[in-house]
Chain A
Amino acid sequence: MEYEPVIGLEVHVQLKTKTKAFCGCANEFGSKENSNICPVCLGLPGSLPVLNSQVLVSAAKVALALNGTIRNFIKFDRKNYFYPDLPKNFQISQFDMPLSEHGYMDIKVDGQAKRIAIKRVHLEEDAGKLIHPEGTACSLVDFNRAGTPLLEIVSEPDLHSPEDAYVYLSDLKLALQYIGVSDCDMEKGSLRCDANISVRPVGQIKLGTKAELKNMNSFKAVRTALEFEFKRQVKSLEAGERIVQETRLWDEKKEATFSMRSKEEAHDYRYFPEPDLPPFTFTDADIKGIRKSLPELPKERLGRFVASFGFGEKDAAVLISDKELADFFEACLKIYNEPKKIANWLIGPVLSHLKSNLSFEALHLSPENLTKIISLVEDGTVSNLAGKSILAEVVETGKPPDTIVREKNLGQVSDVDELKKIIEEVAAVNMRSVDDYAAGKENALMFLVGQVMRKSGGKANPKIARDLLAERLKKT
C-alpha cells in the first residue's frame, strides 16, 4: 500500500521590537545573563504588564502578509502552567480569539503550485531560559528572553511531503525577513518550529493519528525529522501496529525521533481573559494603514524583476531569495544601470563569496565597489579575469577597486603603439600562422591573438589586439 504524510507546522517567531512585549526592557539577544530584566518581566509581586503597541503592529503586518483576517477586538488570555522559566507561572497568550485567522501562503514545490492554509496567527510572550551548568545539581534561569514578543503561526495540515514543509518554512522565513519583523534565526532561537505529522493510505480522506515533533534546530532538521517520522509511522502501520498520539523529540546525532514518554501532555491550561490588559481595538483605518505600510513581499519582487529586467524566473528567484542580496542588486542598479550584468556578477562570483562568508554584511562589498569593478571590466580597463581577482581582493580587504588595479598593475594594455610592438614580435616568430591567415585560414587569427595575450602577460586588451592584428595581417 502507498502512504502519504499529512503535515502541519507550528512556527514561533520572535518579533524584533526595540522593547519587550509588556515592559520597557531591551529586546536583544546575546546580552549578559539577567541584564535585560525588570519587575514586570521577572513577574515580581505587584508588577503589571502594559502592551507595547509596536508588537501589535508587527504582528498585524505578518498576518496581512499571510493573507489572514485581522480582528478588530484584540484580547489576551492567561495560559496557566508551572515551569521555572515562566516567572508568573502563566504565559500571556491568545486563546479563543487569535489576532488573525484564515490566512494562506502559496508555495511552489518542484514546479507545482500549492496553497497552504494558515489556521491562526496569535501573539504571546516568550519564557526565560534554563541553564544547566555542567557538574552541578542545580539549574539557573536567565530571564533576558522572558517577555520577548512571540508570534505563533499555525498552518493547516496542508503539507504533504517533508519537502513541502521545507519550502513552506523557507518562504515563510523570507516573507518575515522582507517585512522586517524578525531575524528568523533558528540558531539564536528567534524562529522555532514544531511539526505535526500523521500518515494515511493515498486516497484515504480520514486523517491518521498524529505525532508532534519537537527539537528541530534547522529547516533541514525539520525535513529530515519528517522523513524519518514518515518512514517510522508507515513501518508501524505495515507491521499492524497502532500509532500513538504523542510528542517525539528529534535527536540530531542519532537522526531519529524518540517518544518523550511524559504524562505532562494531559495539561489543562485553564485559559481565561488576562484581567491586567484591557482589550485593544484595531479600527478598519488602523488595519488599512498597516496594510499600506507593508513593504514589497518576495513574490511581488520576483514578479517585478522578471517583468522589468527580463530575467528568467530562476535568476530572479536567486536574487530575491535573500532580501539583502535583492536590496544590494537594486542599490547597484541605481549607480550603474545594467541589470543583467549586475545580476550575472551577483549570482556568479559574488554569491560564491557570500557562501563562504557568514552574511552579506561580513563582505567588505558596497554597491559602489561592485559597480566600479563591473565598469572597469566593461570599459576594458581590466580583463574579466582581473575583475574577478579584484572582487576577491575587495571582499578580503575592503580596498577600493581603483587602488587594487594600481597596486597590482592589473590595468589592460590598450595603448596601440605598445600593442603594435608586441604584435610585430609575435608576427616575427609565427610566420607560418601569418601565412595561413593570408591563405584564408581564419583560425590562425585567434591563435595569434592568444600569442599576443601570452606575450603581454594577460594584460593586452583582447579586442584591440584582435583588431590591430587583423589590420597588420591584411598588409602582408
Chain B
Amino acid sequence: MNLNLLTAHELSESLRSAKITSAHILSDLKDRFDKVEPKVRAYARQPFFKKSSSRNSVDAQLNGIPVSIKDNICSDGDLTECASRILSGFVAPYDATVVKKLKEQGALIFGKTNMDEFAFGSSCENSSFYPTRNPWDLERVPGGSSGGSAAAVAADEAILALGSDTGGSIRQPAALCGVVGLKPTYGRVSRYGLIAFASSLDQIGPMTKDVRDNALLLKVIAGHDKNDATSVDIPVPDYVRSLEKGVRGMRVGIPKEYFVEGMDPEVRQALNDAKAKLESFGVQFGEVSLPHTEYAVAVYYIIATAEASSNLARFDGVQYGFRASHKSVEKEPALISMYKQTRAEGFGQEAKRRIILGTYVLSSGYYDAYYSRALKVRALIKEDFDKVLGEFDLILTPTSPSPAFKIGEKTDDPLSMYLSDIYTISVNLAGLPALSMPCGFTKSGLPIGMQILGKPFAEEDIFRLAFAYEQNTLWHKMKPKL
C-alpha cells in the first residue's frame, strides 16, 4: 500500500513498530507529488523529500510524520512568501511557535502550500504563483485561502497540513476539498510566526484526512505561548482520548438564519441527512436564532481590512522581500518613489483592494462611522452566540453555501466571492472554535461540508460529535480520481 494514502495515526503505529520508516513515507509522497502535483499545484514550491526528524523518540507524538504548512507560517531557514511577490525571496530566520512544537514532537516540515496572497481570498486564485485546483474537479477552485493545504490533503500529497483561518480560510477549502479542517478558539493556538492578516481574527488550525488526525494535530500545536500575548493559558486537553466519549444527549442548535433562500439544494439536503443521522445517535436538535448574522460580512470586511492595512504596512521594500528597481519621479523624494513602486508592483489586486478599504475605514472622519461601529456590531454577534451556546452544546451549519465553483467564475465579482464565506465569518468575529468535515457529495461528485461550532475552548465537544458522525459514514474514505 502507498503510505501517502494513510493517516498520521495509522502511520504512527507502523513507525512505532518499525514496520516502516519516515523515508518510506517521504518516498511515497514524492511519487504521488510527481504524479498529481502538475495537475493540482497544491504546493507553493518544491517540498523537501529528504528530511529527517530532529528528534527521534518513540514518545514524540508525530515522530517521523511529514506535515505540510501554509506559506504564511514561518519555518527557520525556509522560504515563506505568503504567495506574494512582495515577499519573494523572504527566508524566515525563525520558527513559528507551531513549527517549533511540531519539530519537538518529531514531525518533519515537508513543504509549504499555496494560498491566496496574504490569505486574501476564498479560491486560491489570488496566489501570485498559480491557482491551485480542486482534486475532485480540476476545473474548479479548492477554496481558500488555505486551498493548497486542503488540496494537498485531499490529493494525498500530504499526510497532515496546517492552514490559517481569518474568516473561513481553513473550513471553506476543507469543505470544498472534502477534508477535515478546524479553526480553533481564538487564543488556543499561538499566532507567533503566522504572517498576520487580521490579528484579532487569525488562528492556525489542522487540516487532515480524518477527525482523529485533526485532534492529534491540534493537541500538538495548541497551548499558551509567552511570545503571543493573545494566546490563552488554559491547559490543553487530550483531544484524542476524549473522541469516543459518545454524543447521546448532546444538544445541537441549528440557526434558522443560515438556511436561507438561494442556498444550494444539495447542500441543504446533505445537512438534513447529517442531522437525521446524528439524531439517530441520540443528539437533540433545536432551531436557534443568531439575529445579527446578516451584518457579519460587512463587519468582517471592515475589521479585517483595517487590521490588514496596518499589518501589511511593513512590506515596503526596506528590510526584506521585493524592492522595485525604482525610477526617480520628479518632485518626489526617492524614498517615496521606492515605497510606491515597490507596493504597486509587489501586491496583487486583491491585496491592494483590502489595503485601500482598510486604510479608508480607519481614516479620520470615517473611523467612527465604520471601524468603531463595526466593533460594536461584532460584540452583538458574539452575544448572539453566547446566548445560543448557553442553551446548546454545539451549533450545526453548512460550511459553504455551495460546493466548489469554477475557476474564474467569481474573480470579477469580489462581492460574490466575499459571500462564499457567509457561514464561516461570524465564528472568527466571535472567536469561537469550528470544524468543517465532509457530509456528502453532489450528484456531480463534489464534496459538501458541514460546520460544527462550539463554545470557547470546547474543541473536545466538537471533535466528539465529528468523530461519532465520521465513524458512521464513509465520506472521509472517498478519494478523488486523479
How close is A295's CB to chain B, nearest CB, in angstroms? 30
In the complex, whether B87 has a CB less than 8 A from a CB of chain A is: yes
B191 touches which one: A39, A48, A87, A270 (CB < 8 A)? A48
Using A45-B74, A45-B314, A80-B310 as known contacts, say yes or no to A270 and B195 having CB atoms under 8 A apart: no
How close is A27's CB to chain B, nearest CB, in angstroms? 18
In the complex, the answer to whether B199 meets A272 with C-beta atoms within 8 Å is no
In the complex, whether B80 has a CB less than 8 A from a CB of chain A is: yes
A278 to B231, CA, bound (A): 10
A residues near B319, Cβ cutoff 8 Å = 42-44, 87, 141
B residues near A46, Cβ cutoff 8 Å = 72-74, 80, 92, 94, 96, 192-196
How close is A18's CB to chain B, nearest CB, in angstroms? 16
Q: Which of A44-97 contact B (CB under 8 A)?
A: 44-51, 78, 80, 82, 84, 87-90
In the complex, the answer to whether A80 meets B313 with C-beta atoms within 8 Å is yes
A48 touches which one: B82, B200, B227, B313 (CB < 8 A)? B227
In the complex, the answer to whether B313 meets A276 with C-beta atoms within 8 Å is no
Using A46-B195, A89-B313, A275-B200 as known contacts, say yes or no to A268 and B94 having CB atoms under 8 A apart: no
Q: Report B160-196 CB contacts with A as 1/0, cut-off 8 Å.
A: 0000000000000000000000000000000111111
A89 to B339, CA, bound (A): 11
B363 touches which one: A44, A82, A141, A268 (CB < 8 A)? A268
A270 touches which one: B94, B227, B230, B363 (CB < 8 A)? B363
In the complex, whether A277 has a CB less than 8 A from a CB of chain B is: yes
In the complex, whether B367 has a CB less than 8 A from a CB of chain A is: yes
Q: Mostly helix, strand, loop or mixed at chain A's interface?
A: loop
A residues near B196, Cβ cutoff 8 Å = 45-46, 276
Most chain A CB inside 10 Å of its own CB: which residue of B192, B194, B195: B192
In the complex, the answer to whether B229 meets A51 with C-beta atoms within 8 Å is yes
B residues near A84, Cβ cutoff 8 Å = 316, 318, 335
A47 touches which one: B192, B309, B316, B335 (CB < 8 A)? B192
A84 to B334, CA, bound (A): 12
How close is A303's CB to chain B, nearest CB, in angstroms? 43
Using A80-B313, A278-B230 as known contacts, say yes or no to A44 and B364 having CB atoms under 8 A apart: no
How close is A79's CB to chain B, nearest CB, in angstroms? 10
Q: Which of A249-280 contact B (CB under 8 A)?
A: 268, 270-272, 275-278
A28 to B265, CA, bound (A): 65
A274 to B363, CA, bound (A): 16
B residues near A80, Cβ cutoff 8 Å = 309-310, 313, 362
In the complex, the answer to whether B307 meets A275 with C-beta atoms within 8 Å is yes
How close is A126's CB to chain B, nearest CB, in angstroms? 17
A430 to B82, CA, bound (A): 104
In the complex, the answer to whether A276 meets B230 with C-beta atoms within 8 Å is yes
B residues near A39, Cβ cutoff 8 Å = 93-94
A residues near B320, Cβ cutoff 8 Å = 44-45
B residues near A87, Cβ cutoff 8 Å = 314, 318-319
In the complex, whether B226 has a CB less than 8 A from a CB of chain A is: yes
Interface CB pairs A-B, < 8 A, 24: A44-B320, A45-B82, A45-B87, A45-B90, A45-B315, A46-B80, A48-B228, A49-B229, A78-B310, A80-B309, A80-B310, A82-B313, A84-B318, A87-B318, A89-B314, A90-B313, A141-B318, A141-B319, A270-B359, A275-B199, A275-B200, A276-B230, A277-B229, A278-B230
